[in-house]
Amino acid sequence: MSTQNLEQKLKTYRLSDEEYKLMTGLLGREPQTVEWALFSALWSEHCSYKSSKIHLRKFSFRNEKTPEMDGENAGVVDLGFGERIAFKMESHNHPSFIEPVQGAATGVGGILRDIFTMGARPMMSANYLCFGEAEAPRMKELMRGVVKGISSYGNCVGVPTVTGQTNIHSKYNKNILVNALNVGYFGPGQKMALSNASGPGNLVVYVGAKTGRDGVHGASMASESFDENSEAKRPNVQIGDPFFEKLLIEACLEVLEKDYVVAMQDMGAAGLTSSSFEMASKGQVGLVIDLKKVPLRDSSMTAEDILLSESQERMLLVCAPKNFEPLQKTFKKWGLDAAILGEVQKNRKVKLMWGVEILTDMDPDLIVEKAPRYERPFNKWDFPRRTDRLTTPSNFNAKSWIDKALNNFKLNQFHWIHNQYDQRVGARTAAACDSAVAFARLDHSGRGLGLVVGCRPEVMMMDAEIGALDAVYYPAFQLAIKGAEALAVTDCLNYGNPQKLELMSEFVASVDAIAKASREINAPVISGNVSFYNETLGENIISTPATGLVGLRESVEDIIPDQFGSAFQSLVLVQMNWVESWVHVMAADEKISLFKQNVTCDVPQFIKRCAQMDQEFQKQNNFVTSIKAVGLGGIATTCLKMTTDLVGFDLSFDQVNTKSEDLFKDTFYGFILATEDLDTALDFLKKHFKGLAVDIKKIGETTDQKICLTKDAELDFKDFRNRFMKGL
């Protein structure tokens, strides 16, 4: 092959010179025909995790509730009483930026398949979204499109979208983030399906929708940065059909229940290529597959097109020959294809055929287990690595701040989003998007499964280590104040170019911090995803390690709501007092050092005490009527989010000698509760948190349709509620 031809091949298949040398060394020859495409897809960053895998090993911690599921589609948590869940978080950032409706929709479809592939019935979904400023090019179109894609797919497939987080920052003007999460349920006695092919002579069966050209080279596209030609990548985006997905869910769960299936794998990134080679590699067997037998929408598709297509709603499974006929009848009943592509063989080679022509015959480990592993350069984390200060202006005015916040839609983007989601389909939802933590009722035991997503980009901008600790601690804290102890973590690590020293340093610091925090709260990281190259024309996003946490409480009854219940109740702030705000965290090196020391020592204990607190509330006749963690925008913004159409608040800060700007400082690890019995609440809280550095004080009271931040800052109640709810 000439140098010019080789350079063109490497460019077409997105392979480096070093990877070409490794590939030819493993094969012992030049790659032939479709082998270029196979290596391109499975050695992409998206499929191989070649820049991150050596660091992800730090997530090896497990406990008695989280069995090792290495290489499977999702992590599993044993809830006791015969109940288990599978859950996972995935990114669909690049496709959603190119084509927001289909990109977001197929992100939802893909995460659902990761769950029911294992035999779990999807029970609730969540999302973590990051957008740029409203004035940025295409941003309103992107926001509307992403929300439409998520809502239309989730609503049609019949799985409730129960919670999420939306962030707005200029750093996402050129790269948005769309992370999807799903939780699936195994009832008592329900079998779990694995993805490792086994049993020489067993059949390899294709089920689901027909294969088209959509999504060809999608995995490689998702492993690149964007430039001015990103629009040309639109054909790489998949197209989903939620009604087909619903049929596929029911058909797959039925054949799994009837024990027709030996192994099953979603055709996700890299389509048939990844599913076939990964199933063979994990099972340490070979496969023979005839690509001419793949059901097609377009008969002119080549072997390479078929291998790399990421058409949606497709699965690859292995079954015994005796079970194929009843399996096929089941899929036919649901209106779906079930076609035999080949069989499992003892010889550890994957042989791809085009009729009688052999396209390749190779050991699957060459392409799966022996993918490149890069030890990208990084610096040991040394804080603080950021100079950003979250400060309040000297001429601070509370009312002006609220007006500005509402006008730039950082406060009012939430309701119009979640109002488009069907939050209660399936009749399990006990608390949904009107709460920071969602809860679903478990079918068998009736217990409440809590779900929350996290990561505050503003904290990540200050320091990647602190931000990643917070991405675990803060959602665990949110679960705890609702009476649920965190059980496990899934993550979606969204970063820029790993070949840049600073970005890789942030990534490694974040992984170390998440691993540490998960151990501290005994909630292992059991699944997740890495999304690199979230940059356009060299400009990176904020490093954003999004997380999803699940927790368990004994009942879905008496979950204390976020929103105020009635007027004339006392408001109490419970706040860890070793750091006043994020501003002071950055005031000096010694303060950030003290902060980090206290985070890793005090916060896990504080979270544990909070989880125990809810049980005591119930024993004492629920003297607490609402409760919410203090979040972005501080005490004032948290109280604004707790209002309803009937109930406001008055923050009487004069009695505690607090400046008005302190209402808006972004604080760590505090919560506000409303109570009908102030004396009982204060007495209980002081006893409950004794020995911890916790500040407890009354800060105001709820009102009858009135919002008073300070003496000089009273808001028009109806105007505020209208603006808060309006959205785009």
Torsion of CA 213, 219, 225, 229, to 10 degrees: -10
Which residues have C-beta within 8 Å of that of residue 546, sequence separation ≥ 6? 89, 128, 165, 177, 179, 453, 454, 455, 471, 491, 492, 493, 494
**Which of 55, 92, 94, 418 does the annotation list as catalytic?**
92
CB neighbours of residue 10 within 10 Å: 16
Question: How far, in Å, are 398, 405, 653 from residue 659 at the CA level?
Answer: 10, 19, 8
β-sheet with 670-675: strand ranges across: 624-629, 670-675, 570-576, 694-704, 647-650, 707-710, 713-715
Closest CA to 288 of 374, 350, 242: 350
Tell me the backbone φ, ψ of residue 307, rounded to 5 degrees. Answer: -65, -35
SS3 content of the chain, % helix, strand, coil (to 5): 40, 25, 35
CA distances from 130 to 100, 135, 155, 547, 670 (A): 13, 15, 21, 13, 24
Active site residue 55: no
Report d(CA 266, CA 209) in Å as an integer. 12
Pairing verdict, β 485-494 and 525-531: parallel
Q: Is 444 labeled as catalytic in the residue annotation?
A: no
Q: If we measure between CA atoms, which residue out of 632, 636, 457 comes closest to residue 547?
A: 457
Look at strands 121-131 and 177-186 and give their pairing. Answer: antiparallel
DSSP string, 328-355: HHHHHHTT-EEEEEEEEESSS-EEEEET
Helix axes 678-688, 589-619, angle to 10 degrees: 120
Which of 686, 713, 698 shows the shortest CA–CA distance to 655? Answer: 698
Selected catalytic residue, list 46, 55, 217, 418 = 46
State both tokens at 715.
Answer: 């808001």
Three-class secondary structure of residue 43 per DSSP: coil
Please say whether the beta carbons of 181 and 108 come within 8 A: no
Any idea of the CA torsion for 418, 420, 423, 424, to the nearest 10 degrees?
150
- For the chain, the C-alpha Rg in angstroms (whole number) is 26
**Burial of 2 by CB count in 10 Å (0-12 exposed, 13-18 middle, 19+ buried)?**
exposed
**Residues assigned a catalytic role:** 46, 92
